Every structure is written in structure tokens, then in C-alpha cells.
Amino acid sequence: MTDLTSLGYPQGYHLGFSAILWWIFIIVTSIQGVILYLNARKSELINVKEMFRAKFYLYICTSIQVFLIQVGVFFPDIFLQVYIAGGLVLTISLTFYFYFWEKNLTRIKHIPTIFTGLTTVVFFTSLIISLVIPDIPNILRDFLTLTGLLLSTISSVLYIFLIFIFSRNAKGGNITIVGWIWIGGMIFVSTVLFLHNPPGVSFFPELIVHYILPIIYILGYSMAFYGITKLFPLISSYYSQIQRCVVHRGTIEKGTPIHYCSSCGIVYCDTCFNQVIIQDGCWNCRKGAERESEKKRGTVQILESDKPHKLKKS
């Protein structure tokens, strides 16, 4: 039978103060995730809905990951498999979230999505190996866990970079205090990811890993939640500034027709409007989807600015 103390966990880990802190994190993060989901349902803009919904998945999957670890300590023989399964759940949600972020807001060649995708592959490979070979050689176990830890930390740093890009562009080149709070929260989260010892790996003192990190994690996710709820609504004005088509996600260039839905003001390029929206109705408010007379209610305008608003490439 596997002894949890051999995996770097203290005696009574699942019953002590550390466990209480991690369960508080699970409860707080789950509640925040539900609030994000409700915000997604209430939002009137499809882009904001997508981002809130993607963030909801991320928060809930983070809660599931920590929940699996806390439950896994009661089953030490399969603890490693449960730990890896939790990491797999989280990295899948991260890949999904990064994909939506890059699709909607940035153009950085899908680098965060690629990194989180690689992390998912590492966790999936580790899970398969641990199921096939229950007693994984220490050198292989350390390599897989440290690789996953490194990729997760890099992905978290890239996420901080994405927050910086969005906060800067959404406010005309200046990052607000709310943006810095969000960035600070994710720096805390990145710190936890880096300092938290995977099973069988012990780099940092028990006091830090099991008692201080849960507090930092709670604080980090709460700060990020505050930044999310305050900054995501700015996506509406942001999309209006850069004139990005909701259908194909591209920026509408100067001198080309722009179609605005007369009901919600969402923007479409001429090609997507004529090939998709006239038949389907507005993707955001769905007005005009039932009657032909309503399907053609969008108004056409031409960009007249000499310097159209575009999202800077990073």
C-alpha cells in the first residue's frame, strides 16, 4: 500500500488544517464559477457570453482538480492516477479557454493553446502509463510530473501575457487598476503551480506547500475573478472599436461595408452578412431569424477613418 508520506504529503494530510484550506478553495472557486456562468447567461453580447462561459469551465475544472486530489488521499494506492486525472481535467479546460481567448481577442499564433495542448498530452500520457504500469520507475515519474509542472507554469505565464494584451488594448493602451489586480491574481496562481510539489517530488518546505499555497491560491483566483467580472464587459466597446466580424472573427478593413444589427448593434462584414446572417439571422440576438422581412434589417456603413482601430499583433 502506498504511503502518502513517501509522496511528500504529511501525516494526516487529508484531515489537517491544510485540507481545510484546500476545501475552502474548492468551495470558493466553485461559487465563483457558478457566478461566471450566470453572468454568461445574462450577457447580451455573444462574445462576452463565450468568454464568461469559457472562464466558468476553467474555474469549475480547477475545483474538480483540487477535489480529486483531496478525495484521492483516502485511496493512496491510486493517488498518483487520481492526481494525474485532475491535472488532465484542468489542462483540457485550459486549452479550451485559451482557444476562445485567442479566437476572440488576440493574434499571437495560438502559442498558449499549443502549450496547454502539449500539457494535456503529457498528463494523458502519464495517466495511461500509470494505469498500465502501477509502479512507475521514479525517474520516469519525475520526468512526467516535472514536464507537466513546467508546461503548466509556462501556460500560466502566457495567460498573464494575454491579460496584459487585452487590458492594454481594451483601455486604449493603458492598463487600469482592475487589470493589474487580475494580473497580480494570476501571478499568485502561477506561483502556486510552480511551488506545489507533485507526488514523489519534494522541492519546497512542507509549511509552504501545504499551508501557505492554499491561501495564495484562494487569493489569486479571487483577484482574477474580480478582474474578469470588471473587464469582460469592456469586450463590447472593444469589438466596436476594432470592427471585428462575429462570424469569421477577422477585422473589417477600411473601405469595406460594415453591417450592424439594428437590434443589438453587433458587427458583421459584408461577405458573412450576405452568406450567413441573411439566412440565419443575427448570431447574437437572433432577431430576424424567423421572418424574411426581419433578416435584412442590418444597416450598412463604410469605415471612414484613415487609421482604423486594429488589434496589434503580439
Does residue 167 sit within a domain?
yes
Residue of 104, 199, 198, 121 lying closest to 155 (CA atoms)? 121
Q: What is the spatial distance between Cα 258 and Cα 308, in angstroms, rounded to a whole number?
A: 13
Question: Do 274 and 184 sit in the same domain of this protein?
Answer: no
Q: What is the pLDDT of residue 312?
A: 40
Quick one: cell of 224?
Answer: 482574477
Examine residue 14 and state whether it is found in any structural domain, yes or no. yes
User: Mean pLDDT per segment of 10 residues, for the chain of length 314 residues?
Assistant: 50 65 93 93 75 88 89 78 87 85 68 87 90 82 80 84 78 76 91 70 67 90 90 65 68 70 71 76 60 39 40 38
pLDDT at 165: 78
**193 plus 265 within the same structural domain:** no
For residues 218 and 80, membership in a common domain is answered with yes
Three-state helix/strand/coil letters over 91-122: HHHHHHHHHHHHHHCCCCCCHHHHHHHHHHHH
**Could you tell me if 104 and 157 lie in one domain?**
yes
Count the domains in the chain.
2
Containing structural domain, residue 266: 243-302
Q: Does the residue 311 lie in any domain?
A: no
Looking at the fold, whether 91 and 208 belong to one and the same domain comes out as: yes
Which pLDDT score, from 0 to 100, does residue 161 have? 85
What integer pLDDT is reported at residue 87 of this predicted model?
A: 86
Last residue of a domain, one of 192, 217, 239: 239
29 and 109 housed in the same domain: yes
Q: Do 284 and 181 fall into the same domain?
A: no
Are 251 and 218 part of one and the same domain? no
Total-model pTM: 0.72
194 and 101 within one domain:
yes
> Is residue 122 in some structural domain?
yes
Q: For residues 4 and 73, is the Cβ–Cβ distance under 8 A?
A: yes
Task: Indicate which CATH number applies to the domain containing 186.
Answer: 1.20.1070
Same domain, 174 and 263: no
Distance CA 148, CA 34 (A): 28
Among 239, 259, 293, the domain-final residue is 239
312 falls within a domain? no
